[in-house]
Amino acid sequence: MKKVFERTASLKDMPTHYCAGCGHGIVHRLVCEVIDELGIREDVIAVCPVGCSVIAYEYWDFDCSESAHGRTPCVASGIKRMHPDKIVFSYQGDGDLAAIGTAEIIHTANRAENITVVFINNAVYGMTNGQMAPTTLIGQKTSTTPFGRDIARDGYPLKISELLAQLSGSRYIERVSVNTSANVIKAKAAIKKAFKNQIEKKGFSLVEVLSPCPTYWGVSPKDACKWITDEMSRYYPLGVIKDS
């Protein structure tokens, strides 16, 4: 019998703490598959953020560091500058990357740091009870926007990837999703490209992943995937934003 699917080596054989229908588990696996396919597990150093994926190092079988909230790309840059031949990536949520760490990600990209960033956009703060994120959609209800995100009160959802694409220092930025099988395949290809860019010393690469959070969107996992298609990806269109 032919084996068509197995757990990839870099992903530890253990259950995760993520909620049912959460996108983190899929993206963790994609990152690990890419690392194993590129044969770089022993050269990889990951930096995990503050947020739902704070203990990603429990699931990944390679060197990892924690980081203070939002300072993730600084820690990654410090590691990369000391080990320019290692493969360093940060894994960040929308609160980490697009709120508290906005300055850090902009200047890291602007310095053209040769690192890879995997950016999970699920439009809420999942770790702390589903508060409004910088990426929360207009009208979206969260625990701190109980009447829906209101432009007058809360401002606009932040398209941080488009903003980063404006910087001369960024090399490659693509937005993907993991809400359908086809999109998962595309997401993996983008993540792989972002890692290959680093190996080829091409500079700052970032993949934004629209990722379902059924728990704090208050919907079923299936409806969460549908919401990404119907609502989220209309505001945050999928595809390559920059490839220079």
- Binding flag, residue 241, another protein (CB under 8 A): no
Rounded CA separation 138/158 (Å): 11
Q: Which helix (H) or strand (E) holds 181?
A: helix 181-199
Smallest CA-to-CA distance from 95 within 59, 71, 61, 64 is with 71
**Contact region for another protein (CB under 8 A) — 19-27, 99-107, 177-185, 190-198?**
99-107
Q: At its nearest, how many Å lie between another protein and the CB of residue 42?
A: 4
**Phi, psi angles (nearest 5°) of residue 210:** -75, 120
* Contacts for 48 with CB less than 8 Å, ≥ 6 apart: 54, 55, 56, 57, 64, 65, 66, 67, 72, 91
Instruction: Look up residue 15 and give its amino acid.
Output: P
- Binding flag, residue 204, another protein (CB under 8 A): no
* Binding test (CB under 8 A) with another protein, winner from 34, 52, 76, 120: 76
Q: At its nearest, how many Å lie between another protein and the CB of residue 159?
A: 21
Rounded CA separation 100/50 (Å): 10
Rounded CA separation 101/96 (Å): 5
Query: DSSP label at 60?
Result: B
**Contact region for another protein (CB under 8 A) — 26-34, 67-75, 159-167, 210-218?**
67-75
* Binding test (CB under 8 A) with another protein, winner from 19, 36, 63, 235: 63
Q: At its nearest, how many Å lie between another protein and the CB of residue 58?
A: 9
* Binding test (CB under 8 A) with another protein, winner from 16, 19, 66, 128: 66
- Binding flag, residue 31, another protein (CB under 8 A): no
Distances (CA, A) of 121 to 153, 161, 168: 22, 10, 23
Cβ atoms of residues 87 and 47 within 8 Å: no
* Binding test (CB under 8 A) with another protein, winner from 36, 38, 41, 163: 41
**Phi, psi angles (nearest 5°) of residue 6:** -150, 165
Binding flags for another protein, 107-126, as an x/- string (CB under 8 A):
x---x---------------
* Binding test (CB under 8 A) with another protein, winner from 11, 30, 47, 97: 47
- What the block records as the tokens of 54 is 């704070």
- Binding flag, residue 138, another protein (CB under 8 A): no
- Binding flag, residue 238, another protein (CB under 8 A): no
Q: Given the rule CB under 8 A, which residues bind another protein? A: 41-45, 47, 54-55, 57, 60-68, 71, 74-83, 86, 103-104, 106-107, 111
